[in-house]
Structure 1
Amino acid sequence: MLSNEQIRGLLKDIEADNVERTVSTNKTDKFCEAICAFANDMPGHDTPGYLFIGADDKTGEIAGIEVSDQLLQNLAGHRDSGQIVPLPSLIEENDRDLFQQMTALGFWDVQNNCSTNAGALLFAESPQNWFPGAYIQYVRFDGDGLEADILDERKFTGDLLTILRELDAFIKTLFPSRPVPVSSLREEQRTPYPNWAIRELLMNAVMHRDYQSNAPVTFYWFYNRIEIQNPGGLFGSVTPETFPDQNDYRNPKIAEAMKVLKYVNRFRRGIIRAQALLQKNCNPPAKFTINQPNYFLATVREAGS
């Protein structure tokens, strides 16, 4: 949190390009444009931007506006606004080179002339050189414990785009459907586990894991259950009491990339959708074990168990 002295210094620093001031309390377009500019950080300052509402833009002097509850609610509402400001225009060429484009997306660090962590995870040939745990370990066991014989194993490694693509294709091959009698005259095709539910839980594990850990995401299939574990517990504003209704992102750039590629939705629907798919397939609800701050474990039992 800024001290009073730091705030006064920012107000007086008229030349700073990471500070915006406005006397108006209702010029929402200006507020949103300033916030978007700070978020893009095109100069590459890698420091916060500050918007002062109720301060003269030329002098930095306080205007003395009344701070009401309604004003605070209006300002807080901009955080969740979906309005696009300003409206984009379509251009054929903007003459930005690849590094400038990557910088705008948060994948390149201009000041240090190197990839950001998110850029390395998504595009580097072998991100595991810098993030040893950035892979997925799949094992199928012939029993209900780690001591059981191994029927199959696989390691998903490489850049995150390759991992996600291969994992998505692999899941579709795992659970063939079989006829299950639902009455004396009718059968339904069911699988031991619904593909999309397991996919949702795995994608959530990749998105929310702690990439500072050397441990991989584990995908263990025992004879009566599946366990998906990722290093790193709940993050930020999410607590065991608010999960899964509250959402926060340890890796916002990774989360946004996965959303754009349609692996996740970022609308807090992943867990809810997985539970609905499990119920429809006659699986028990997924159980979640949260060990803060070490790991997050999702356990899914076979249909009919």
Structure 2
Amino acid sequence: MTQEELYSILSIEESYRIERTISTGNMDKFQEAICAFANDLPGSRKKGYLLIGVLDDGKISGMTVDDTLMKKISGIRSDGNILPLPMMTTEKVSTPEGDVLVVEVTPSFDTPVRYRGRTFIRIGPRRDIATPQEERILSERCAASLPTFDTHPCRGAKLDDLDIDAIIKDYLPRAVDASVLANDHRPLEEQLASLHLWNLQWNCPTNAALIMFGKNPKYFMPGAYIQYVRFKGETNAGAILNERRFEGSLYHILPLLDNFIRDGIVTRRPISVSVLREKDIVNYPFKALHELCMNACMHRDYQSNMPTRLYQYDRHIEIMNPGGLYGQARPENFPLVNDYRNSVIAEMMRSFNYVNMFNHGVTEVQDALRENENPPARFNVDLVTAFSVIIEDDAKSYEESIVDISLVATAHQLATNISSHVKDLIISINTSEHTKESLQLATKLATKSRQYFDKVSLKPAIQSGLIQMKYADAPNHPDQKYSLTDLGKAVQIILKGK
């Protein structure tokens, strides 16, 4: 390493890649730092540097590095305290300000790396012991470079556990060129092995074969099913209005799931947009729900006992699958970077046109929601053992659905004729009840006079039938509150749509 390269590293602030110290005897500190660099929790694949002889502000301290210190630090690699052995180099760089001992650590592929049985990681400039969830991230990242779970043999299964007719008649013609398939006279097991559906060593199906074409995959993988629940309200505490399980192979349940989404979840209703015109309002675009459910089945962790969840509430849907972001996909690069926990299942689903594997799924979901005037999907990528996404019902369609269509003509007329002060008031109020003070604060009318607010906003709105009082017979009731009438809701929809 040259002096110029050292100065370049010194210019980097202490972070998950850089640790500075002037200590020469704290071997625990050195080994913990090397262990943390080898684990590379952020997954950047960038080398880490332990700089001995450098102050916290990045200035060289002026120490002298002798052969004894060099040998002591170099011996860290093979003393057996850090396992698996780290890939590191030790080098002395002499500068006019003094010597610096540079320990360069290459991120390990075989993680987690432990020092005396403990897994150290760096979180920004801080070093800490990894939590079980963080260790799982390191383990999954290691597994990402190895054969995926769906390629492993399911040693308790046999050929009779597979739907052979579906494989031969429907999948093989999709996966293999017709001319190649016509000239392939090998035994079926060898044909399946070429597609990672059979393990010749153990003479049994792979997990992918059972998940996609198994007669009863849940017997081998208890969480391999989809659970749909319709809750009343907005939380799991609400009453269960409907519940359904989709059990069996993906080959059989994915078409059923699509039909259920189309007929049981997506709803259309005509809404009047003018006196002479109506339009259909959809609560959720089918394309978005289809894409999210297919991705959940493709990316989920089939080793987990948790099912893929499709939970519907009054105003939103949550889709959750076991298994967080996998491999190279991380919170900071999602959704730009994708990786496949189940590469064989992903390829089979692509053959059946359920997914495209172009990493366009999230973009297509957001586009479909935007076109339908839904809020964008909200992805929770911070969960370690699960991945969830929430999509919300079309708010406009919900509001319009509670308005009596017979009020539309009157509402259009009022929306044109009422004053700007009344318009601001109607737009500011929601369907809940409000006090006079909260209404005044919510409007754009900048005045401290309640009398003026009453005169130009509140009373005209009440007289026009747009706002109602909770205690209509006692206008000065101490607990008086105000809310929109049905006509007020219709006018609000029209005003918000302009």
TM-score, normalization: structure 1?
0.69
Where relative contact order (Cα < 8 A, 6+ residues apart) is larger, the structure is 1
Deviation at 1:151, TM superposition (A): 1.0
| Alignment partner of 2:354 out of 263, 266, 271 | 263
Shift of 1:180: 2.9
Cross-structure match for 2:252: 162
1:93 equivalent to 2:183? Answer yes
* Separation in structure 2 between the aligned mates of residue 151 and residue 196 of structure 1, nearest angstrom: 24
- Give the one of 192, 201, 205 matched to 1:111: 201
Amino acid corresponding to residue 107 of structure 1 in structure 2: L
Does the alignment pair 1:192 with 2:298? no
Which position in structure 2 is the counterpart of 1:69? none
For residue 362 of structure 2, what is the amino acid of its counterpart? I
What's 1:242 paired with? 333
- Equivalent of 1:230 in 321, 338, 361: 321
In the alignment, which residue of structure 2 is the partner of 1:218? Answer: 309
Count of equivalent residues: 221
Match of 1:102 in 2: 192
Unaligned ranges ≥5, structure 1: 4-43, 47-87
Q: Is the 8 A contact 2:331 2:382 kept in 1?
A: no
Instruction: Supply the AA of the counterpart residue of 2:330.
Output: T
SS of the residue 1:248 aligns to: coil
Task: Tell me the CA shift for residue 190 of structure 1.
Answer: 1.8
- CA–CA distance in structure 1, aligned partners of residues 322 and 273 of structure 2: 40
- Amino acid in the other structure paired with 1:296: F
Q: 1:135 aligns with which of 225, 231, 242?
A: 225
Residue 286 of structure 1, aligned match among 366, 377, 388: 377
Q: Deviations over 1:49-69 (max 9, x none)?
A: xxxxxxxxxxxxxxxxxxxxx
**Structure with the higher fraction of residues in helix conformation:** 2
Amino acid at match of 2:347: E
**Residue in structure 2 matched with residue 35 of structure 1 by the alignment:** none
Aligned-partner residue type, residue 268 of structure 1: N
| Residue deviations 1:184-214 (CA, integer Å, cap 9, x gap) | 6533212111111111101111100111110
C-alpha distance after superposition, 1:47-99 (max 9, x if no partner): xxxxxxxxxxxxxxxxxxxxxxxxxxxxxxxxxxxxxxxxx793533212211
Verify the 8 A CA contact 2:377 2:392 in the aligned structure 1: yes
| Gap change, CA 1:98 and 1:149, over 3 Å in 2 | same
Provide closer, same or farther for how the CA distance between residues 97 and 191 of structure 1 changes in structure 2, counting only shifts above 3 A. same
SS at match of 2:363: helix
Give the match's secondary structure for 2:183.
coil
- 2:203 is aligned with what amino acid? N
Equivalent-residue separation in structure 2 for 1:283 and 1:181 (angstroms): 19
Larger radius of gyration: 2
Structure 2 CA distance for aligned equivalents of residues 278 and 186 of structure 1: 23
Q: Which of 297, 300, 306 matches 1:206?
A: 297
Partners in 2 of 1:161 and 1:89 — Cα distance?
Answer: 21
What is aligned with 1:56?
Answer: none
Structure 1 equivalent of residue 240 of structure 2: 150
Deviation at 1:178, TM superposition (A): 1.0
Does the 8 Å CA contact 2:267/2:284 hold for their aligned counterparts? no
Q: Of residues 115, 122, 136 in structure 1, which corresponds to 2:212?
A: 122
Corresponding letter in the other structure for 2:319: I
Q: Supply the AA of the counterpart residue of 1:163.
A: I
Which residue matches 2:418? none
1:272-283 alignment runs, 5 A limit = 272-283=363-374
Q: Secondary structure at the match of 1:90?
A: helix
The CA deviation string for residues 206-233 of structure 1, in whole angstroms up to 9 with x for no partner, is 1001111100010000001000000110
Alpha-carbon separation, structure 2, partners of 1:191 and 1:157: 28
SS in 1 for 2:362: helix
**Which amino acid in 1 is paired with 2:306?**
A
User: CA RMSD, aligned part only?
Assistant: 2.0
Name the counterpart of 1:179: 270
SS in 2 for 1:298: strand
| CA–CA distance in structure 2, aligned partners of residues 280 and 253 of structure 1 | 33
Task: Return the TM-score normalized by structure 2.
Answer: 0.43
Distance 1:142 1:224 in 2: 10
Give the Cα separation in 1 of the matches to 2:305 and 2:349: 22
